[in-house]
Amino acid sequence: MSSQPSKALETFDNPNPERDYHIHMEIPEFTCLCPKTGQPDFATLYLDYIADRSCVELKSLKMYIWSFRNEGAFHEAVTNRILNDLAAATQPRFMRLTAKFYVRGGIFTNVVAEFRKPGWEPQPLVDLTGFAHQSNTRG
């Protein structure tokens, strides 16, 4: 096998650092091990961030996520560790990691962790849904 799991996260220069834009990634194949039973835990990770100077490189992210496959970790701990590592590597303006773990023992667990660069404030949300509806009416 040519690729191996790795904790190294690579980045590349943000092609538009002057603009706040939303990067959304869905990672449906996250696995780690329950630290109590050793059984596998499965989750879909949702990564949302606004880059500053750097973006995370996708192959390194894939290898990084893969590196947890044989590690025992509580859901809360692994979610915060991944967010900390990604935020340290990319130094984003804003980053949110949502981990949606599959049911175990009748319980779904969702963990949401956020990072915000000191002093950064989001731009006001622009709602175009009403505008689109209005533009289709004639008076």
Asked whether the beta carbons of 35 and 78 are under 8 A apart, the reply is no
Q: Which residue has the tokens 């990691």?
A: 97
The number of CA neighbours under 13 Å toward the Cβ of 47 is 24
Specify whether 34 is catalytic: yes
Q: Given the residues 34, 48, 52, 85, select the one marked as catalytic.
A: 34
Q: Given the residues 13, 20, 32, 41, select the one marked as catalytic.
A: 41
Specify whether 41 is catalytic: yes
Task: Show the beta-strand stretches assigned E in 20-90.
Answer: 22-33, 40-50, 54-56
9 token code pair: 């996260």
Q: How far apart are CA 27 and CA 121, in angstroms?
A: 27
Closest to 11 (Cα-Cα) out of 46, 66, 52, 67: 52
Q: Active-site residues: which are they?
A: 34, 41
